[in-house]
């Protein structure tokens, strides 16, 4: 996890904004080609849990076999 910036939500309440991603050393393949799928999610509350999933994501497909 890597913090990008902080957001001030009032007095004495600073919330760090984060980007979370994981690198897979042994990736899944489609017909021998790597692919990348990204789903964008915004977590706005923990208790109760409130999560917004963006309706658009990102998919990338390699053109050279892995």
**Domain parsing of the chain, residue ranges:** 22-66
pLDDT exceeds cutoff 70 at 56: yes
Q: Alpha-carbon distance 16 to 62, whole Å?
A: 34
pLDDT value of residue 29 = 93
pLDDT tens for residues 23-48?
A: 888 888 999 999 988 888 888 888 89
Q: Cα dist. 20→3, 15, 30, 43, 49 in Å?
A: 9, 15, 24, 12, 18
């Amino acid at each position: 996890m890597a913090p990008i910036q902080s957001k001030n939500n009032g007095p004495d309440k600073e919330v760090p904004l984060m980007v979370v991603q994981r690198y897979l050393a042994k990736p899944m393949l489609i017909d021998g080609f790597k692919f990348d799928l990204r789903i964008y999610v915004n977590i706005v509350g923990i208790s109760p849990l409130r999560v917004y999933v963006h309706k658009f994501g990102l998919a990338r497909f390699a053109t050279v076999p892995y």
